[in-house]
Amino acid sequence: MERQVVLITGGASGIGYAAASAWVRNGLRVVISDINVKAGEAAEHALRAESADVRFIPADVSSSSACAGLIAEVMSRHGRLDIAFNNAGIAGPAAKVADCPMDEWRRTIDINLFGIYYCLAAELKAFTAQGHGVAINMASVYGKRGVAGGSAYCASKHAVIGLTKSAALEYGKKGIRINALCPGFIETPLTRGIDSTVPTSTMDALVARSANRRYGSADEIAQAAVWLASDGAAYLNGTAIDVDGGFLAA
Ligand code: NAI
Protein backbone atom coordinates (compact mmCIF):
# COMPACT_ATOMS: atom_id res chain seq x y z
CA MET A 1 0.00 0.00 0.00
CA GLU A 2 1.28 3.47 -0.87
CA ARG A 3 2.31 5.35 2.26
CA GLN A 4 0.27 8.36 3.37
CA VAL A 5 1.60 11.89 2.91
CA VAL A 6 1.32 14.49 5.68
CA LEU A 7 2.04 18.21 5.47
CA ILE A 8 2.82 20.22 8.62
CA THR A 9 3.09 24.01 8.53
CA GLY A 10 5.24 25.54 11.26
CA GLY A 11 7.01 22.19 11.27
CA ALA A 12 10.45 23.51 12.16
CA SER A 13 9.76 24.02 15.85
CA GLY A 14 7.67 23.15 18.90
CA ILE A 15 4.40 21.28 18.32
CA GLY A 16 4.83 21.11 14.53
CA TYR A 17 8.25 19.49 14.83
CA ALA A 18 6.98 17.02 17.45
CA ALA A 19 4.10 16.07 15.15
CA ALA A 20 6.45 15.63 12.18
CA SER A 21 8.61 13.38 14.30
CA ALA A 22 5.60 11.32 15.43
CA TRP A 23 4.37 10.84 11.84
CA VAL A 24 7.89 9.88 10.73
CA ARG A 25 7.93 7.20 13.45
CA ASN A 26 4.53 5.99 12.15
CA GLY A 27 6.02 5.53 8.67
CA LEU A 28 4.31 8.38 6.80
CA ARG A 29 5.93 10.50 4.10
CA VAL A 30 6.38 13.85 5.84
CA VAL A 31 6.58 17.35 4.39
CA ILE A 32 7.42 20.13 6.80
CA SER A 33 7.01 23.76 5.88
CA ASP A 34 8.07 26.89 7.74
CA ILE A 35 8.96 30.52 7.17
CA ASN A 36 12.24 29.97 9.05
CA VAL A 37 14.47 28.39 6.41
CA LYS A 38 17.45 27.72 8.68
CA ALA A 39 15.31 25.98 11.32
CA GLY A 40 13.37 24.13 8.62
CA GLU A 41 16.54 22.76 7.03
CA ALA A 42 17.86 21.75 10.46
CA ALA A 43 14.56 19.99 11.25
CA GLU A 44 14.64 18.17 7.89
CA HIS A 45 18.22 17.07 8.58
CA ALA A 46 17.32 15.80 12.08
CA LEU A 47 14.21 13.93 10.90
CA ARG A 48 16.12 12.33 8.00
CA ALA A 49 18.08 10.37 10.62
CA GLU A 50 14.88 8.34 11.01
CA SER A 51 13.46 8.40 7.46
CA ALA A 52 14.59 9.39 3.98
CA ASP A 53 11.02 10.46 3.22
CA VAL A 54 11.13 13.89 4.85
CA ARG A 55 11.14 17.13 2.87
CA PHE A 56 11.30 20.76 3.91
CA ILE A 57 9.52 23.29 1.70
CA PRO A 58 9.82 26.91 2.83
CA ALA A 59 6.62 29.00 2.78
CA ASP A 60 5.17 32.02 4.52
CA VAL A 61 1.57 31.08 5.34
CA SER A 62 0.48 34.71 5.39
CA SER A 63 0.84 34.71 1.58
CA SER A 64 -2.01 33.10 -0.36
CA SER A 65 0.21 32.40 -3.37
CA ALA A 66 2.88 30.81 -1.16
CA CYS A 67 0.25 28.50 0.40
CA ALA A 68 -1.20 27.54 -2.99
CA GLY A 69 2.36 26.93 -4.25
CA LEU A 70 3.17 24.79 -1.21
CA ILE A 71 0.22 22.46 -1.67
CA ALA A 72 0.86 22.34 -5.45
CA GLU A 73 4.46 21.32 -4.77
CA VAL A 74 3.40 18.57 -2.35
CA MET A 75 0.94 17.24 -4.95
CA SER A 76 3.50 17.36 -7.74
CA ARG A 77 6.18 15.59 -5.67
CA HIS A 78 3.97 12.97 -4.02
CA GLY A 79 0.77 12.83 -6.10
CA ARG A 80 -1.35 12.84 -2.94
CA LEU A 81 -1.97 14.66 0.33
CA ASP A 82 -3.68 12.63 3.05
CA ILE A 83 -3.22 14.77 6.17
CA ALA A 84 -2.63 18.49 6.58
CA PHE A 85 -1.69 19.91 9.98
CA ASN A 86 -2.22 23.67 9.64
CA ASN A 87 -0.19 24.57 12.68
CA ALA A 88 2.01 27.62 11.97
CA GLY A 89 1.24 30.51 14.27
CA ILE A 90 2.60 33.33 16.40
CA ALA A 91 1.78 34.65 19.86
CA GLY A 92 0.90 38.12 18.64
CA PRO A 93 1.19 41.43 20.47
CA ALA A 94 0.83 41.71 24.25
CA ALA A 95 -1.19 44.92 24.68
CA LYS A 96 -4.65 46.10 25.61
CA VAL A 97 -7.06 46.55 22.69
CA ALA A 98 -6.80 50.35 22.51
CA ASP A 99 -2.99 50.31 22.84
CA CYS A 100 -2.28 47.55 20.35
CA PRO A 101 -0.17 48.48 17.31
CA MET A 102 -2.57 47.84 14.42
CA ASP A 103 0.09 46.41 12.13
CA GLU A 104 0.92 43.76 14.76
CA TRP A 105 -2.78 42.99 15.27
CA ARG A 106 -3.20 42.55 11.52
CA ARG A 107 -0.04 40.42 11.23
CA THR A 108 -1.36 38.05 13.89
CA ILE A 109 -4.62 37.60 11.98
CA ASP A 110 -2.69 37.28 8.70
CA ILE A 111 -0.61 34.38 10.04
CA ASN A 112 -2.91 32.64 12.55
CA LEU A 113 -6.17 32.93 10.60
CA PHE A 114 -5.48 33.73 6.94
CA GLY A 115 -2.52 31.34 7.06
CA ILE A 116 -4.88 28.50 7.91
CA TYR A 117 -7.54 29.69 5.48
CA TYR A 118 -5.11 29.92 2.53
CA CYS A 119 -3.66 26.45 3.23
CA LEU A 120 -7.05 24.87 3.92
CA ALA A 121 -8.56 26.27 0.72
CA ALA A 122 -5.78 24.74 -1.37
CA GLU A 123 -5.82 21.48 0.60
CA LEU A 124 -9.59 21.10 0.14
CA LYS A 125 -9.19 21.30 -3.62
CA ALA A 126 -6.63 18.48 -3.47
CA PHE A 127 -8.74 16.46 -0.99
CA THR A 128 -11.85 16.87 -3.17
CA ALA A 129 -10.01 15.72 -6.29
CA GLN A 130 -8.66 12.59 -4.57
CA GLY A 131 -11.87 11.88 -2.59
CA HIS A 132 -10.41 11.91 0.91
CA GLY A 133 -8.30 13.94 3.33
CA VAL A 134 -7.99 15.13 6.90
CA ALA A 135 -7.13 18.66 7.98
CA ILE A 136 -6.27 19.68 11.52
CA ASN A 137 -6.35 23.41 12.19
CA MET A 138 -4.38 24.77 15.11
CA ALA A 139 -6.54 26.78 17.49
CA SER A 140 -5.97 27.08 21.26
CA VAL A 141 -7.83 27.16 24.54
CA TYR A 142 -7.86 30.88 23.71
CA GLY A 143 -10.16 30.00 20.83
CA LYS A 144 -12.75 29.33 23.53
CA ARG A 145 -11.88 31.80 26.25
CA GLY A 146 -10.76 35.44 26.42
CA VAL A 147 -7.32 36.59 27.51
CA ALA A 148 -6.56 40.11 28.73
CA GLY A 149 -3.74 41.59 26.70
CA GLY A 150 -3.98 39.05 23.86
CA SER A 151 -6.96 40.14 21.77
CA ALA A 152 -5.36 39.51 18.37
CA TYR A 153 -4.28 35.97 19.28
CA CYS A 154 -7.63 35.26 20.91
CA ALA A 155 -9.63 36.63 17.96
CA SER A 156 -7.53 34.64 15.49
CA LYS A 157 -8.02 31.37 17.39
CA HIS A 158 -11.79 31.88 17.87
CA ALA A 159 -12.04 32.45 14.12
CA VAL A 160 -10.08 29.29 13.35
CA ILE A 161 -12.73 27.28 15.20
CA GLY A 162 -15.53 28.95 13.20
CA LEU A 163 -13.67 28.29 9.95
CA THR A 164 -13.20 24.66 10.96
CA LYS A 165 -16.90 24.09 11.71
CA SER A 166 -18.05 25.71 8.46
CA ALA A 167 -15.54 23.81 6.34
CA ALA A 168 -16.57 20.49 7.94
CA LEU A 169 -20.20 21.17 7.08
CA GLU A 170 -19.26 21.94 3.49
CA TYR A 171 -16.90 19.00 2.87
CA GLY A 172 -17.93 16.22 5.29
CA LYS A 173 -20.10 14.45 2.73
CA LYS A 174 -17.09 14.21 0.39
CA GLY A 175 -15.19 11.99 2.85
CA ILE A 176 -13.13 14.89 4.19
CA ARG A 177 -12.66 15.67 7.89
CA ILE A 178 -11.64 19.05 9.31
CA ASN A 179 -11.11 19.48 13.04
CA ALA A 180 -9.37 21.97 15.31
CA LEU A 181 -6.96 21.36 18.16
CA CYS A 182 -7.05 23.50 21.29
CA PRO A 183 -3.89 23.03 23.34
CA GLY A 184 -3.48 24.56 26.77
CA PHE A 185 -0.06 25.77 27.92
CA ILE A 186 2.63 23.80 26.13
CA GLU A 187 6.35 24.21 26.63
CA THR A 188 7.66 25.45 23.30
CA PRO A 189 9.60 28.49 22.07
CA LEU A 190 6.20 30.25 21.62
CA THR A 191 5.38 30.16 25.33
CA ARG A 192 8.98 30.54 26.42
CA GLY A 193 9.77 33.38 23.99
CA ILE A 194 10.40 36.83 25.39
CA ASP A 195 7.52 38.21 23.32
CA SER A 196 5.00 35.61 24.46
CA THR A 197 1.51 37.13 24.80
CA VAL A 198 0.92 36.04 28.38
CA PRO A 199 3.76 36.73 30.89
CA THR A 200 5.40 33.58 32.30
CA SER A 201 4.27 34.38 35.86
CA THR A 202 0.64 34.65 34.68
CA MET A 203 0.97 31.41 32.73
CA ASP A 204 2.42 29.63 35.77
CA ALA A 205 -0.56 30.80 37.84
CA LEU A 206 -3.06 29.62 35.19
CA VAL A 207 -1.33 26.26 34.86
CA ALA A 208 -1.43 25.87 38.65
CA ARG A 209 -5.24 26.13 38.47
CA SER A 210 -5.60 23.48 35.72
CA ALA A 211 -6.52 19.89 36.59
CA ASN A 212 -3.07 18.44 35.80
CA ARG A 213 -1.17 21.41 37.32
CA ARG A 214 1.66 21.26 34.79
CA TYR A 215 2.59 22.45 31.32
CA GLY A 216 2.01 20.06 28.45
CA SER A 217 4.76 18.81 26.17
CA ALA A 218 4.84 19.30 22.41
CA ASP A 219 4.69 15.52 22.04
CA GLU A 220 1.43 15.33 24.00
CA ILE A 221 -0.16 17.64 21.42
CA ALA A 222 1.50 15.75 18.57
CA GLN A 223 -0.04 12.50 19.80
CA ALA A 224 -3.49 14.12 19.78
CA ALA A 225 -2.91 15.31 16.20
CA VAL A 226 -1.81 11.84 15.11
CA TRP A 227 -4.95 10.32 16.62
CA LEU A 228 -7.23 13.01 15.15
CA ALA A 229 -5.85 12.21 11.70
CA SER A 230 -6.25 8.46 12.15
CA ASP A 231 -9.19 6.24 11.21
CA GLY A 232 -9.83 5.84 14.94
CA ALA A 233 -11.18 9.40 14.85
CA ALA A 234 -13.29 8.80 11.72
CA TYR A 235 -16.47 10.11 13.35
CA LEU A 236 -14.94 13.41 14.49
CA ASN A 237 -15.69 16.29 12.17
CA GLY A 238 -16.01 20.05 12.72
CA THR A 239 -15.02 19.78 16.35
CA ALA A 240 -12.41 21.58 18.44
CA ILE A 241 -10.65 19.22 20.83
CA ASP A 242 -9.18 20.55 24.09
CA VAL A 243 -5.81 19.05 24.96
CA ASP A 244 -5.16 21.25 27.93
CA GLY A 245 -4.53 19.24 31.09
CA GLY A 246 -7.96 20.32 32.29
CA PHE A 247 -7.34 24.09 31.95
CA LEU A 248 -10.83 24.71 30.55
CA ALA A 249 -12.40 22.49 33.18
CA ALA A 250 -11.63 25.11 35.84
P1 NAI B 1 6.73 27.59 17.89
O2 NAI B 1 7.08 29.04 17.91
O3 NAI B 1 7.64 26.61 18.53
O4 NAI B 1 6.45 27.10 16.39
C5 NAI B 1 5.74 27.86 15.46
C6 NAI B 1 6.38 27.70 14.10
O7 NAI B 1 5.59 28.45 13.15
C8 NAI B 1 7.80 28.26 14.04
O9 NAI B 1 8.68 27.30 13.48
C10 NAI B 1 7.68 29.48 13.15
O11 NAI B 1 8.83 29.76 12.38
C12 NAI B 1 6.49 29.10 12.28
N13 NAI B 1 5.87 30.28 11.67
C14 NAI B 1 5.61 31.48 12.25
N15 NAI B 1 5.10 32.33 11.35
C16 NAI B 1 5.03 31.66 10.17
C17 NAI B 1 4.60 32.01 8.87
N18 NAI B 1 4.17 33.25 8.57
N19 NAI B 1 4.65 31.07 7.89
C20 NAI B 1 5.11 29.80 8.17
N21 NAI B 1 5.56 29.44 9.39
C22 NAI B 1 5.51 30.35 10.37
O23 NAI B 1 5.28 27.54 18.56
P24 NAI B 1 4.34 26.32 19.01
O25 NAI B 1 4.06 26.51 20.45
O26 NAI B 1 4.83 25.03 18.52
O27 NAI B 1 3.00 26.76 18.26
C28 NAI B 1 2.46 26.06 17.15
C29 NAI B 1 0.99 26.41 17.08
O30 NAI B 1 0.33 25.96 18.27
C31 NAI B 1 0.67 27.90 16.96
O32 NAI B 1 -0.38 28.08 16.03
C33 NAI B 1 0.23 28.27 18.36
O34 NAI B 1 -0.65 29.37 18.37
C35 NAI B 1 -0.47 27.00 18.78
N36 NAI B 1 -0.60 26.85 20.23
C37 NAI B 1 0.50 26.79 21.03
C38 NAI B 1 0.35 26.67 22.41
C39 NAI B 1 1.49 26.64 23.35
O40 NAI B 1 1.28 26.70 24.58
N41 NAI B 1 2.74 26.50 22.87
C42 NAI B 1 -0.99 26.61 23.02
C43 NAI B 1 -2.08 26.67 22.06
C44 NAI B 1 -1.87 26.78 20.73
pTM of the complete model:
0.98
Domain boundaries, the chain: 5-187+217-240
Kindly state the helix (H) or strand (E) to which residue 7 belongs, with its residue range: strand 5-9
Pairing of strands 133-138, 240-243: unpaired
pLDDT of residue 134: 98
User: Which has the closest alpha carbon to 78: 43, 120, 29?
Assistant: 29
Residues of the chain scoring pLDDT < 50: none
Active-site residue, 153 included: yes
88 pocket-lining for ligand 1 (C-beta < 6 Å):
yes
**Set 118, 142, 153, 215: catalytic member:** 153
For the stretch 21-55, pLDDT in tens is 999 999 999 999 999 999 999 999 999 999 999 99
Q: How far apart are CA 24 and CA 12, in angstroms?
A: 14
Residue nearest to atom 24 of ligand 1 (CA): 14
40 pocket-lining for ligand 1 (C-beta < 6 Å):
no
Looking at domain 5-187+217-240, which CATH architecture does it have? 3-Layer(aba) Sandwich (3.40)
pLDDT of residue 191: 86
